[in-house]
Structure 1
Amino acid sequence: MENTNQKSKSFTFLVIGMAWMFDAMDVGLLSFIMSIVHKEWLLTNSQTGLISSISTVGMICGGFYFGSLADRIGRKNTLIITLLTFSIGNLALAAAPGFYMFLAIRFIVGMGLGGELPVAATYIADMYRGPKRSQMLILADSFWAVGWLVASFLSVLFAPLIGWRGLLILTALAGLFALVLRRHIHEIHTLPTQSSEWYATLKSEFRPWTITLWIAWFMVMFSYYGMFMWLPSILLDKGYGIVSGFGYTTIIIVAQLPGYFCAAWLARRIKVKYVFSIYMFGTALGAIMFGQSTTALMIVIAGCVLSFFNLGAYGAIIALTPDLYENKIRGTMTGMAQGIGRIGAIVGPLMVGVLMDRQTSVNLVFVIFMISLVIGAIAVLTLPASQDSQKE
């Protein structure tokens, strides 16, 4: 019986992990599409950065709204709604006639994306306890790297044939996955709670260290989206053709997987906040290396260091956050933390676009990211040790 239950958990874990993959596919494809749309619509660098930023505004709203909804109507139904939101939105996005309509629709797509990850993380957190919970959350986040790889290959193989609109239609097919979710996962806890109980718990769980956690989330997303959404364009500015740029980016993305696996291994042995801080300091080192890279080999090595550590840090803070809150408000607080963090995801790409328009050196841009990463590492280290305790 226990073996059957374990198999059921493993299957459910894989199904939920696929939601991470589809999210990453969308974000990854947007990264590649940005450079294509930039040329097709003759956009400035600041306008191109705005595409990513407006999507992230939607993610913030989606994290707040759908995280709370998951505590009210259940994780499963909310996850299905988020999948359908960004899938149908991408179909509409493929038909966008111009830049401003593209921005409006991308906001809606962002809401679906922003709601999906905190709800999926909450579901995984509900399934496991103790160090196992941290490990499985980090492993679930490793599906993000798989999604980026799929996005990279789709871009290289199909972008010349079907264009960026066709790529968006392919992404929209992820909506069919909602049918799989509906048949193969179920609610773990009885929901919803009464509104009075929910508000009372929310008030009691909002402690001073929550702000510190939000600072760490801000720095993770500021650095991740600021660096990785612009990687193809930065490679082009360094003198590499678009195909070579995609190739380098793919190699860099592959380094994410061992970063996740090592972080998951560490999470079973040391506190997750220490795993996070180690990986943030490692990312800071990678940022300095990338900013000073002048050859293809140096770019690949520095990019791999960035990917290994930055995505491991991302997985670690995803593992840390749901474990800090009671089940009845876990979705709300996880969605809120990611939503606040995504303010950094707005500022990061926009900042890079503005600085590039002003001919700022790539080295200085990555020094700024290095400083933000160190701040994020220190922020989590200041959390009280009791916040790493496993509670339910």
Structure 2
Amino acid sequence: MPVRMSSMLDALPLSRAHVRLLLIGGLGYLFDGLDGSSLAFFLPVLRGAWHLSGVQAGLIASSTSQGYLIGSFLSGFLADRIGRRRIMMSALALYCVASCLSALAQDWRTYFALRLVCGIGTGAEAVVIIPYIAEFLPARLRGRLCGAVVGFFSFGYFLAACLGFFIVSAAPQGWRMASVMTGLPILLLLWWRRALPESPRWLEIRGRHAEARLVIQAFAGGGGRDPLPPAQSWVGEEAPPAGPGVWSARWRSRVLLCVWLWTWLFFSFYGFFSWIPSLLLKRGLNLSDSFGLSLLIFAAQIPGYFAAAWLNGPLGRRRVMIGALVLAALSALLLVRANGVAGLLAGAMGLSAGLNGAVAGLYAYTPELFPTRIRATAMGLASGISRLGAIGGAFGISLIAEHGGTAPVFAVTGAALGLAVLALFTVAPETDNSALPEQ
């Protein structure tokens, strides 16, 4: 009986090749998180140095998300057609160049344009990493390990807070040095990635079975071990017939579900993390104290991500997202009423942990809803459209805070998270640890 070679991946033990893949993928998310969150620490300085209006500051705050929207759409579509690896390498190189050049900007328009390009690079990168990694992992470990890889975002956010506290706030031009520091290490990551293989699942649906077989053998641990069935039982060299497209009746409801979840989550996520140092300044703290508390708030992401990643296995992705979003919404409501520094810090750390726990669940959940031939396209659609929510969060929070203060900001954040929880309770399926769909 014909057997798909990629189905053997679900039965493989975790090997050194898997661990290397997880580490390199995680480092990509680390730099994506570092890029996206460092802007929150640059903005208070740039606002004073370039005398930015609320609209100009909002445009810069949303620049990464605007670029992310473009990068997400393009990379998801292209990754399903020309392969995952090519997109990951080119996107990372684009980000590296734009991030370093942004350190030289002399006005907000140039800076905005370069940050837009940075967003295109990080958007293209972030969309492809998880579908790519998910296609290598055994089903029983996929939820936990995908959540753990996404957890590297939190290290990037924490490093951005360290840069803000120790470098950006230390000198008027510290933001320029920090911009170079976020871009140059990418060269090392590109070097490490040069030997990464293409996804065996993608190779298989393209009819490139010999290449897929070699990749699977490498991930089986080597040493002459062959995890595949006898050659006579392989699927033929022709690619399988095309199935329903991403907007077909079969997959449309899942695409719309993902768009809904991603949009409301990232409206809240970027609205909060793009502005938290500035919002703390509005509560009467000075720049150094604001950056110091932000360091603690960003650090709360780490347990949020990795607790959710571990729970993805026993509880399932859907339940993890519900629990994390409820924690985040309740923390946002606490921030509406918080007056003292202790209450403010507790609410903000809870919101930070909850938001990132939900992201760990969502990134593991989304690739499991779609087959290989449209997996990256669907991920790109959900991630790309969600950037409209992220842009609304980053831009809208600026205007709300400027005219209404911080309490309405957190009230709106809590309401947005409630809309995501509603969909998870009513229409979202659970994926558990089942095999990836292929038809």
**Native 8 Å contact 1:274 1:381 kept in 2:** no
Indicate the residue corresponding to 1:113 in structure 2: 122
Change (3 A) 1:32 1:277: same
Indicate the residue corresponding to 2:147 in structure 1: 138
Distance 1:209 1:332 in 2: 13
Please give the secondary structure, in 2, of the residue aligned with 1:88. helix
The answer to whether residue 113 in structure 2 is matched with residue 104 in structure 1 is yes
Change (3 A) 1:236 1:84: same
**Native 8 Å contact 1:88 1:175 kept in 2:** no
Equivalence map 1:1-392=2 (5 Å): 6-159=15-168, 160-161=170-171, 162-176=173-187, 177-191=189-203, 193=206, 200-204=244-248, 205-358=250-403, 360-385=404-429, 390-392=435-437
**Native 8 Å contact 1:58 1:107 kept in 2:** yes
In the superposition, the TM-score normalised over structure 1's length comes to 0.93
* 5+ residue gaps, structure 2: 1-10, 208-238
Please give the secondary structure, in 2, of the residue aligned with 1:15. helix
Please give the secondary structure, in 2, of the residue aligned with 1:268. helix
1:33 aligned partner, one-letter code: F
Deviation at 1:4, TM superposition (A): 8.7
Deviation at 1:130, TM superposition (A): 2.8
**Native 8 Å contact 1:213 1:380 kept in 2:** no
**Native 8 Å contact 2:29 2:152 kept in 1:** yes
Please give the secondary structure, in 1, of the residue aligned with 2:51. coil
Higher helix proportion, which one?
A: 1
Distance 2:406 2:91 in 1: 36
2:129 aligned partner, one-letter code: A
Change (3 A) 1:361 1:120: same
What is the count of residue pairs matched by the alignment?
Answer: 390
**Native 8 Å contact 1:94 1:168 kept in 2:** yes
Superposed CA RMSD in Å reads 2.2
**Native 8 Å contact 1:82 1:115 kept in 2:** yes
Task: Report which stretch shifted further, 92-101 or 215-224.
Answer: 92-101
Deviation at 1:380, TM superposition (A): 2.1
2:343 aligned partner, one-letter code: M
2:413 aligned partner, one-letter code: F
Per-residue CA deviation, residues 33-76 of structure 1 (Å, 9 max, x unaligned), is 11111111111223212112232111011001011222122222
2:252 aligned partner, one-letter code: R
Distance 1:250 1:121 in 2: 27
Please give the secondary structure, in 2, of the residue aligned with 1:206. helix
Distance 1:73 1:87 in 2: 22
Per-residue CA deviation, residues 123-177 of structure 1 (Å, 9 max, x unaligned), is 1211224352111111111101101111111222222355212211111113301
Per-residue CA deviation, residues 245-292 of structure 1 (Å, 9 max, x unaligned), is 111111112211211222122211122112111111110001011222
Counting aligned pairs with the same residue, the percent is: 28
Deviation at 1:186, TM superposition (A): 4.6
Distance 1:37 1:198 in 2: 51
Please give the secondary structure, in 2, of the residue aligned with 1:127. coil
2:117 aligned partner, one-letter code: I
Change (3 A) 1:30 1:199: farther
Distance 2:297 2:66 in 1: 27
1:377 aligned partner, one-letter code: V
Deviation at 1:200, TM superposition (A): 4.4
Deviation at 1:80, TM superposition (A): 0.8
Change (3 A) 1:242 1:198: farther
Please give the secondary structure, in 2, of the residue aligned with 1:269. helix
In the superposition, the TM-score normalised over structure 2's length comes to 0.84
2:86 aligned partner, one-letter code: N
1:313 aligned partner, one-letter code: A
1:183 aligned partner, one-letter code: A
Indicate the residue corresponding to 2:213 in structure 1: none
* 5+ residue gaps, structure 1: none
**Native 8 Å contact 2:251 2:370 kept in 1:** no
